[in-house]
Structure 1
């Protein structure tokens, strides 16, 4: 037996801090903890069923992503943005996305096209369901979809900047979707984006990329204004 030519297939098992990081990230993005809420470590650890030690390792990672913020002498809180800041983040996101889209469509491969087809098909099926789990899965695929559209650009620093801007607003987008329960418009835009990507229509793809970001921003801000209006009426 030639041991030098054999390969060992080692499957890495996530560490407890990694699991805590993933679960807390998912909980924040899915609205279990709302923007601005202080994250009392004892309470969060109890909800996750762990000690504070792995939580202390997970929180700085979430801070680096912009999902939580650290207040001196107070602790960590879920990041919160006002409407003006949200609009600013979308402006930045749009600039980076359009540039990535321009580079991506010129470099896409048949494998990239097949991947987009597969993801869109899964998303369409989930968009018609109304459960919280289906919505969470749809958003995971939503990230996968946008990553797959732009990955051929092969611009890691652009992609890193884009992911940071997405992290800042993802929780708000998911909250708006939970309140309306309607993914049809977003799903239709995804289908159009996929079609332009597949056929290689660069002009259409860039136009749709910009429009999709603008429409997502408008839906979110409209939803936030509606929620604030209802809250004000309830407190009157």
Structure 2
């Protein structure tokens, strides 16, 4: 007969799943696990110190995020970003982040606005140095900070469920050839100015342009 699962057991299983997902996600994002690398159950069990069940559940979550590819009965591997998807992925992030900026920027305290402006400066510095991996890392951190300050719980959850997986898929070797980096520098600066001014609409437009969405100027 089926054995009822206690709420404590369910909670423990969920906590394990979340912890394992976070550890594998971090290892993918920091480069410990490389694009295309096969993920072996026995090796993951040895590394993470848990059973196969929370590992397989976490891998399914990571597949939904776009960080992992699962071919049933064949292999599981770290996703290998596709250059052809760079602009569509950027635009998808732009749709989400545009709404986030529209909501978040008018709510910012002066201290929050100054902190976010400094994060924009980090993005521009990495861009000027030609360190495009750092541009990706700093930009994801910047927009995730805006997400946390937008005051809209459903939007926060929806965005955080997918933003890291989408940003990871921008890590292609020829990214320098695929995007108008000169224009993007100016868009970062416009985002900084709008953030400091508390102008949510201007911030939204700058964020959308930064993510390669067609933008109609105000007025």
Tell me, yes or no, whether TM beats 0.5. yes
Aligned equivalent of 1:26:
30
Alignment equivalent of 2:207, drawn from 200, 206, 209 = 209
Aligned equivalent of 1:173:
170
| Separation in 2, partners of 1:16, 1:148 | 24
Determine which structure has the larger helix proportion and give its number. Answer: 1
Aligned equivalent of 2:144:
147
1:199, CA displacement in angstroms?
0.9
Structure 1 pair 17–117 and aligned structure 2 pair: CA distance change class (3 A): closer
Structure 1 pair 61–203 and aligned structure 2 pair: CA distance change class (3 A): closer
**What is the CA deviation profile of residues 72-109 of structure 1, one whole-angstrom value per residue up to 9, with x for unaligned ones?**
11131334687897666555544332322221122111
Normalised to the residue count of structure 1, the TM-score between the two structures is 0.61
1:112 aligns with 2:115: no
**What is the CA deviation profile of residues 172-192 of structure 1, one whole-angstrom value per residue up to 9, with x for unaligned ones?**
422166544985443332121
Normalised to the residue count of structure 2, the TM-score between the two structures is 0.65
> 1:65-214 counterparts in 2 under 5 A?
65-79=65-79, 92-130=92-130, 134-175=131-172, 178-180=175-177, 183-214=181-212
Q: Give the length in aligned residue pairs.
A: 189
**What is the CA deviation profile of residues 155-176 of structure 1, one whole-angstrom value per residue up to 9, with x for unaligned ones?**
2321232234433432342216
1:195, CA displacement in angstroms?
0.8
SS of the aligned residue for 2:212 comes to: helix
Give the alignment's Cα RMSD to 1 decimal: 3.9
| Separation in 1, partners of 2:91, 2:178 | 25
| Separation in 1, partners of 2:162, 2:120 | 23
